[in-house]
Amino acid sequence: MIKRPMKPFIGIFDETKKLDTEILDKVKDDEVLIRSFIRGEEDTHEVKAKPLEELLPPYLSNYSDRFKKKKAERFPPSRPYDHAIDLKPDFKPWDCKIYSLSPKERIEQDKFLDENLQKGYIRPSKSLMASPFFFVAKKEVGALQPCQDYRDLNNGTIKNRYPLPLVTDLVDKLKTAKVFTKLDLRNEYNNIWIKDGDQWKAAFKTPQGLFEPTVMFFGLTNSPVTFQAFMNDILKDFIDEGWCMVYMDDILIFSDEINLHRLRMRHVSERLQENNLYLKPEKCEFEVTKMLFLGMVITPGHISMDEMKLAGIKDWKAPKTIKGKYAELARPLHELTKKDTKFEWTKIRDVAFNILKAKFLQRPILQMPDDEKPFVIEADASKWATGAVLKQQGSDGELHPCGYISHAFTATERNYEIYD
């Protein structure tokens, strides 16, 4: 491990002179799409769904049933991971009011109830308690997502502490991968039963009556970990071999050459078939070298931030109150959060704010670290903060960043000697 000091920090006003206005303009096209979505504007370009034969690689044709929506409209089998809703000892049942629905929402409610009663995903209930039922907007313009408001139930539920994967640990496994396939499971949580005898606890009330789910739905506090444990179990050997990763309903298969990759895809497809699981072909990506996964753009040996996640940063407005996300960003903005500090938006703070916007938009690309090669750490500290960059030599002979870390000093830490 090689340690060396970072280049001295550039003064905040000197840095301002170097701001590249093109950085702040390059997300313009993405912002237009985002704004039109927020305003509820319809997309005038109709996208015709591709037939399954065009979406599915030929070598997976024997598993085409795994990608058919009609086949997936079945009641799932009972599994060892049936979802239990364990209540705290002091839990008391409660009732709830019915939420008012718009005419469009009433139509969607009837559709939801009819479809899920037919599939057996819900059934009429005589539960002693109920949670409200309502709708939220989906990403698709004009589309609605039915939801149950399980906040009271979740507050009274004993939490399952099974861990979800750390995103950083997942990415670390992609070091030598050159080919990627992403699979998206159909029906997500609906693939898991609610434990027999616990269905009444998740009952929900609608203008059409009281119903209880027989399978998991979004909103239950332990649904994510139940589903993650299930997926980890059925794909455990592939995960342990280091070429498959799972985060909830997303499965990523990766390899360093195409023939091995296709063999692995057959293994995964066979395993999903054995467990009666289905996929959404329109959301799967097969044999690509660039992919968006968990909010990151993944390419062979590198990761970077998703441009769509950055698109809104350009329009950040200068704060007008003492509240806001800017308080988390940097000094001198941190000073505004101190007790009894008068809010004054000075020139130095305005410059710092704009620099931070530009820095976010620059989207640093990180090289995948190789544990067999030496690392270089560049570190520095000022009176207020410390920072470091972990670097490693790439195939071009140059040093490339693998990760960053920074820390703002507390009042006590600011009294330390520099060598501490």
**DSSP class of 160:** P
- How many Cα atoms occupy the beta-carbon half-sphere of 153 within 13 Å? 25
Question: Phi and psi (nearest 5°) for 135?
Answer: -130, 150
Contact (Cβ atoms closer than 8 angstroms) between residue 294 and residue 170: yes
First to last CA, the chain: 20
Q: How many domains does the chain have?
A: 2
Q: Has residue 45 been placed in a domain?
A: no
Provide the β-strand partners of residue 136: 145
316 pLDDT tier (thresholds 50, 70, 90): low
Measured CA to CA, the distance from residue 336 to residue 346 in angstroms comes to: 11
Q: 170 and 230: one domain?
A: yes
Per-residue pLDDT at 61 exceeds 70: yes
Q: Which of 286, 302, 318 is the last residue of a domain?
A: 302
For 12-46, letters b (16+ CB in 10 Å) and e give: eeebeeeeeeebbebbeebbeeeeeeeeeeeeeee
pLDDT at 348: 66
Question: Phi and psi (nearest 5°) for 388?
Answer: -155, 155
Measured CA to CA, the distance from residue 286 to residue 182 in angstroms comes to: 7
251 or 308, greater pLDDT: 251
Mean pLDDT of 83-110: 92
Per-residue pLDDT at 69 exceeds 70: yes
Question: Phi and psi (nearest 5°) for 144?
Answer: -120, 145
Lowest-pLDDT choice from 71-75, 172-176, 259-263, 361-365: 361-365
Mean pLDDT of 245-261: 94
pLDDT at 44: 38
Measured CA to CA, the distance from residue 49 to residue 299 in angstroms comes to: 27
Q: 81 and 197: one domain?
A: yes
Averaged confidence pLDDT in the chain: 78
CA proximity to 190, closest of 278, 101, 257: 278
Contact (Cβ atoms closer than 8 angstroms) between residue 307 and residue 30: yes
Q: Has residue 122 been placed in a domain?
A: yes
Lowest-pLDDT choice from 44-58, 158-172, 256-270, 365-379: 44-58
Contact (Cβ atoms closer than 8 angstroms) between residue 322 and residue 334: no
Is-cis flag, bond preceding 332, omega within 30? yes
48 or 11, greater pLDDT: 48
Measured CA to CA, the distance from residue 280 to residue 267 in angstroms comes to: 18
Contact (Cβ atoms closer than 8 angstroms) between residue 338 and residue 375: no
pLDDT at 371: 73
For 355-380, letters b (16+ CB in 10 Å) and e give: bbbbbbbebeebbbbeeeeebbebee
Measured CA to CA, the distance from residue 337 to residue 341 in angstroms comes to: 7
Domain with 322 in it: 2-38+303-415
Q: Has residue 13 been placed in a domain?
A: yes
pLDDT at 11: 34
Lowest-pLDDT choice from 30-44, 191-205, 256-270: 30-44
pLDDT at 51: 82
Could you give the dihedral angle defined by the CA atoms of residues 260, 263, 264 and 267, in that order, rounded to the nearest 10 degrees? -160
Q: What is the CATH number of the domain that holds 117?
A: 3.10.10.10
Per-residue pLDDT at 117 exceeds 80: yes
Per-residue pLDDT at 45 exceeds 80: no
Provide the β-strand partners of residue 157: 87
Contact (Cβ atoms closer than 8 angstroms) between residue 391 and residue 399: yes
pLDDT at 396: 78
Q: 316 and 272: one domain?
A: no
- How many Cα atoms occupy the beta-carbon half-sphere of 297 within 13 Å? 12
Q: 95 and 106: one domain?
A: yes
Q: 294 and 147: one domain?
A: yes
The backbone region for 363, taken as left when phi is positive above 0, alpha when psi lies in -120 to 50, beta otherwise, is left
Mean pLDDT of 189-204: 96
Mean pLDDT of 254-259: 94
Q: Which of 302, 324, 340 is the last residue of a domain?
A: 302
pLDDT at 420: 56
250 or 320, greater pLDDT: 250
Q: Given the structure tokens 């698709």, which residue do they identify?
A: 140
